[in-house]
Amino acid sequence: MVNALRNSLINARKGFWATWQQLSLPIVALIICLPLIVVGVSFFIGLAGEEQRATLAHLFDNVIGEYVRHSAILMVGVGLLVLVIGVTAAWLTTACEFPGVKWLRWALLLPLAMPAYITAYTYSGMLSFEGPVQSGLRAITGWQLGDYFFPEIRSLTGAILVMGFVLFPYVYLITRAAFIEQSRAAIEAGRTLGLGPWASFYRVALPMARPAIATGVTLALMETLADYGTVHFYGVTTFTTGIFRTWYGMADKVGALQLASLLLSAVVILMVVERISRKQSRYHHAGRAQQGSRAMKLKGFKAFAAFTACFLPVLFGFLLPALQLLVWSYDRLDTWLDPNFWNLIGNSLTLAALAAIITVIFALWLCYGKRVAGKRTIAGNGATIAKITRGSVAFASLGYAIPGVVIAVGVLVPLTWLDHRIISFSESVFGVNPGLLLSGTIIALLFAYLVRFLSISIQTVDSGLSQISHAMDESGRILGLKSKEVLTRIHFPLLRTSLLTAGILVFVDVLKELPATLVLRPFNFNTLAVRAYEMAGDERLADAGPAALMIVLAGLIPVILLSRAMNRRQQQEARALDPRPGEIYEPVKA
């Protein structure tokens, strides 16, 4: 009887652990998505009150039309620019061989390391009246102010150009992967029917890659809607600048929430479009890669034109801004010796490291819970719980597509409410006012980073878990290991690379994040991104150079990881198409 009672207690404990492990996932996902829920619900709550309706009517009558017009023009301009640059570069570097193409295949990823607002600062410094371009023009021609016309970079057109040259790698990266995966037989069939190389591109390769192109353009447009530093510095009024102006300039929390809900609606529409294009992607990647020994050999003028078309985006998107940052940093060598500057670096690194650790832990918990839910049944409702678990993980991954300013507003409202409840309770029970424990501290900032960047960790960790056979889980349980022991003793050692990659990606994105940091940072607490923004706002662009350069150097880390992954895959594809005698190669997984 004692043994039976002990076994029943053990089984009950195991059942409780399994039940809690699975039921905790929806709770965690709900907490993580609470800021998005607050922003989404605020619009409908605002319609119920007379004062809120008046605020919304005032916004529609005075500013929303301008925000919509400028945001739409910005999206159309950036979308067309990234489409042309990204697709052209992807096709030339995939289907053609010309001098410098191997270098360009990874160099075209370098603009990803350059945040759009930093690129905007550098071009403003280079092309302004006192900048090196106009100063050199006046020195050569002898012109004076008013003798010549020079386009204004700090404008809507300038913002489109800057963001287009920074965001085109999204289209390039995804489209090039689609071109590599396309069926070689389809391309060759078009050639046998009389289509030339470029006709095969327009009539065969491009239509098959359309879902991938749509996905890349959608991601670039999401980043365009989320940008604050570029449009604010260039004087372009969009939803992000409007939210800041309404929250800080007018002290109108309700109006800021309503603007944030409208921006959230636009992002959700883009997400739906991207999801539809992803469902259609099954039509475009059947077969083996079309890149290989039959790539078109370009010579003479064609080779020069192809190299120029691929090099100019690298030049304008990375090389020129990076060179300007180096010049500014060299002219401000004393900044590197300033203890305050190293305090900024310490604050930024601490925030990024804490956010990376917290985000990876939550991602591991959610992804492993989803894996376990797919194998277990609880009280006969295993299928339902598994669906809820998978839906919870997908729900928790929405944050990356949402602008940082929207998440910041959504975080600040519930945490401020909770702070006031804590203060009221403490004063009534203990007679002590503890102050703002959540909304005025680093906790709010870390929570916003968790909401914003959890999707990156989930995708990376889930990809690593998918490569571990479920047979290893069963083997561990046969040997008497519990579920958490299977994770710590079997999965964790195999996931070290995926966890490290996820942490690095989150670390770098936190260093670059500007809107959420501006809204939620504690008093008298600055980071490198905020320092660069403040210096640029005071027209001290050269003083912003060292901080911006540190951010760019950190941004090179994921670019190096991406380029190495692409090179490995390209080598595997080439070896699979042309194996050495006596060697057999497995098909390369997507």
Residues 238 and 299 in one domain: yes
Last residue of a domain, one of 540, 558, 578: 540
Residues 76 and 115 in one domain: yes
Angle of CA points 353, 356, 358, to nearest 5°: 110
Helices (H), 108-252: 116-127, 132-141, 156-181, 184-192, 197-200, 206-208, 210-226, 229-233, 239-244
pLDDT, greater one: 471 or 153? 153
Residue 130, in any domain of the structure: yes
Number of structural domains the chain divides into: 2
Average pLDDT of the residues in 82-93: 92
pLDDT of residue 307: 93
pLDDT of residue 230: 92
Residue 588, in any domain of the structure: no
Residue 197, in any domain of the structure: yes
Residues 182 and 290 in one domain: yes
Q: Does the pLDDT at position 56 exceed 80? A: no
pLDDT of residue 357: 93
Residue 308, in any domain of the structure: yes
Residue 566, in any domain of the structure: no
Residues 210 and 340 in one domain: no
Residues 358 and 265 in one domain: no
Residues 413 and 513 in one domain: yes
Q: Does the pLDDT at position 1 exceed 60? A: no
Q: Does the pLDDT at position 390 exceed 80? A: no
Q: Which run of H or of E encompasses 357?
A: helix 339-373
Last residue of a domain, one of 305, 326, 347: 326
Find residue 296's DSSP bridge partners.
Answer: 96
Helices (H), 33-129: 34-48, 50-62, 64-95, 101-107, 116-127
Residues 79 and 206 in one domain: yes
Residue 215, in any domain of the structure: yes
Residues 352 and 480 in one domain: yes
Do the beta carbons of residue 156 and residue 67 sit within 8 Å? no
The secondary structure of 307-319 as a DSSP string is HHHHHHHHIIIII
Residues 108 and 214 in one domain: yes
Q: What CATH number is associated with residue 211? A: 1.10.3720.10
Q: What distance in Å separates the CA atoms of residue 195 and residue 97, rounded to the nearest whole number? A: 20
pLDDT of residue 11: 45
Q: Does the pLDDT at position 353 exceed 50? A: yes
Confidence label for 298 from pLDDT (cuts 50, 70 and 90): confident
Residue 559, in any domain of the structure: no
Q: What distance in Å separates the CA atoms of residue 235 and residue 242, rounded to the nearest whole number? A: 11
Instruction: Write down the residue that tokens 């289907």 correspond to.
Output: 95
pLDDT, greater one: 576 or 287? 576
Average pLDDT of the residues in 145-161: 87
Last residue of a domain, one of 303, 326, 349: 326
Q: What distance in Å separates the CA atoms of residue 229 and residue 234, rounded to the nearest whole number? A: 9
pLDDT of residue 285: 46
Q: Mean of the per-residue pLDDT values for the chain?
A: 79
Residue 510, in any domain of the structure: yes
Q: What is the pLDDT of residues 468-521, one digit of tens each?
A: 777 777 777 777 777 677 777 777 777 887 888 888 888 888 988 888 898 888
Closest residue by Cα to residue 181 from 208, 203, 214, 204:
208
Q: Does the pLDDT at position 77 exceed 90? A: yes
Residues 322 and 381 in one domain: no
Residues 248 and 340 in one domain: no
Do the beta carbons of residue 104 and residue 307 sit within 8 Å? yes
The model's pTM is: 0.81
Give residues with Cβ within 8 angstroms of 292, minimum separation 6: 184, 573, 574, 577, 578
Q: Which run of H or of E encompasses 414?
A: helix 404-429
Do the beta carbons of residue 386 and residue 412 sit within 8 Å? no
Of the chain, the percentage scoring pLDDT greater than 90 comes to 17
Q: What distance in Å separates the CA atoms of residue 182 and residue 568, rounded to the nearest whole number? A: 18
Distance of CA 38 to the CA centre of its chain: 22
pLDDT of residue 290: 44
Residues 197 and 165 in one domain: yes
- Boundaries of domain holding 525: 18-33+332-540
Average pLDDT of the residues in 97-106: 89
Confidence label for 75 from pLDDT (cuts 50, 70 and 90): very high
